[in-house]
Structure 1
Amino acid sequence: MLYRDEAIVLRTHKLGEADRIITLLTRQHGRVRAVAKGVRRTTSRFGSRLEPFTHVDLQLAEGRSLDVITQAETITPFSSGLGLDYDRYTAGTVMLETADRLVAEEKEPSVQQFLLLVGGLRAMVAGGRGPGQVLDSYLLRSLAVAGYAPSFEHCARCGLEGPHRWFNPSMGGMLCSTCRMPGSASPAPETVAVLGALLAGDWPVVEAADARHLREASGLVSAYLAWHLERALRSLAYVER
């Protein structure tokens, strides 16, 4: 049975002499692993259309364990815009790995995650905003869609309205003095405002923030991500935070 969908290529790895397994985040079918036959041959009809970061329109044939890609047309070659800028490329790689980890169940629809990833890559390529802030905003929003929404305005444990002083990834965000847990961080109030703005997409607040508060916010986003994914992302080690 054939089906069509649009997708972002998340990663690839070799299969046999000439094929590749392509991991995709699709709009309607969630995370899909599919075989691209002959893609490693110089005569392949797919060309560079199935490389990571590429936004593609696909036709696939359902298979027993892996589907097979039968057609691929490029919609947006995000890789060409990211490949010229190391900071944007490495930040984009973290976005791909995050999407791959958050959408764990294959063939489960995840339209919001797909649209977030496309929008995040588009903003990363556009270059109008810092790559670190685009990445942090994407990470917070994708975690929220996955059911791990952080709380920056209310106590994550008791719901008391803030502002609050303490941040704890395992508890889901900011904590009041009563609910404070051992090992909680105490970020600057300006940093907490940046975190809320990144989650809400309030870019004037983000762009007006001091560099030290942006750095502190990035560290807290990384800690929050690592806690909820249960281990750090490999690609995050290459991003300057």
Structure 2
Amino acid sequence: MPLYRDEAIVLRTHKLGEADRIITLLTREHGRVRAVAKGVRRTTSKFGSRLEPFTHVDVQLAEGRNLDTVTQAETHDAFAAPLGADYERYTNGTVMLETAERLVTEEKQPSTQQFLLLVGGLRAMVGGERRPGQVLDSYLLRSLAVAGYAPSFEHCARCGLEGPHRWFNPSYGGMLCTTCRVPGSASPAAGTIVVLGALLAGEWPVVEAADPRHLKEASTLVAAFLAWHVERGLRSLAYVER
């Protein structure tokens, strides 16, 4: 069977038979890949611990008809240990993994930007320099933008009129002017809109100086925007305090 190597983040695992697992990976060059890791549930497995969710690995796989097979795995970053020691960071990180899996829908299609965003987001999550919720919100907005759902915070999402505008609607892609406003649109505070733009752009001094009320409202809007574009809510998001 042909072999190939790639960097990957382990997104999810589930049991197969008595000793194997099916591993869902987000790889740098091959996008989302599902592969069998044989014997990893045995205590004698050489790389079972390297194929746990959150682990950044260098992996070798053998191509298969339905599922590939993991033949080697070397750890780059073991994000699971520091995340597992902090419930808030762990739950926020879990949302990142589920989001990546939902946004990269086609298997073995290049998704380098999504991979790099996830690696960077997990490093920021374990780094401890920023609040977990802020890291998550920034990651969600950026990953949605890469997937083709970039929100508009400075211009009207319908007509393009330059803002600032006061109405937000996730189904229309962001802020709306008074003329384009539709029923059910939210009216966030001006400071919240600034926070949303800063989260998307990675302007951390602006985010860190923001009023907690604006940060909380921004998180609510990010969650609504995500839920609309992934079509159904993420199970892991229910465990995150917003």
Shared fold per TM-score greater than 0.5: yes
The aligned counterpart of 2:233 is: 232
SS at match of 2:51: coil
1:98-109 maps to which residues of 2 (within 5 A)? 98-109=99-110
What's the C-alpha RMSD, in Å, of the aligned pairs? 0.4
The aligned counterpart of 1:131 is: 132
1:197 paired with 2:195, answer no
After TM superposition, the runs of 4+ consecutive aligned structure 1 residues lying more than 3 A away are none
The aligned counterpart of 1:214 is: 215
What displacement does 1:40 show? 0.4
Deviations 1:167-212 (A, max 9, x none): 0000000000000010000000000000000000000000000111
Tell me the amino acid that sits aligned with residue 17 of structure 1: E
What displacement does 1:80 show? 1.0
What displacement does 1:47 show? 3.0
1:69 paired with 2:70, answer yes
The aligned counterpart of 1:163 is: 164
Identity fraction in percent: 84
Structure 1 segments unaligned to the other structure (5+ residues): none
1:52 paired with 2:48, answer no
Tell me the amino acid that sits aligned with residue 166 of structure 2: R
SS at match of 1:11: strand
1:121 paired with 2:117, answer no
1:81 paired with 2:82, answer yes
1:141 paired with 2:150, answer no
Counterpart CA distance in 2 for 1:95 and 1:19 is: 25
Deviations 1:73-120 (A, max 9, x none): 000000111111100000000000000000010000000000000000
1:180 paired with 2:181, answer yes
Structure 2 segments unaligned to the other structure (5+ residues): none
Deviations 1:118-168 (A, max 9, x none): 000000000000000000000000000000000000000000000000000
The aligned counterpart of 1:4 is: 5
Counterpart CA distance in 2 for 1:159 and 1:52 is: 41
Counterpart CA distance in 1 for 2:48 and 2:192 is: 45
SS at match of 1:97: helix
Counterpart CA distance in 2 for 1:233 and 1:212 is: 24
Q: TM-score, normalised by structure 2?
A: 0.99
Counterpart CA distance in 2 for 1:118 and 1:47 is: 21
What displacement does 1:45 show? 1.1
SS at match of 1:45: coil
Q: TM-score, normalised by structure 1?
A: 1.00
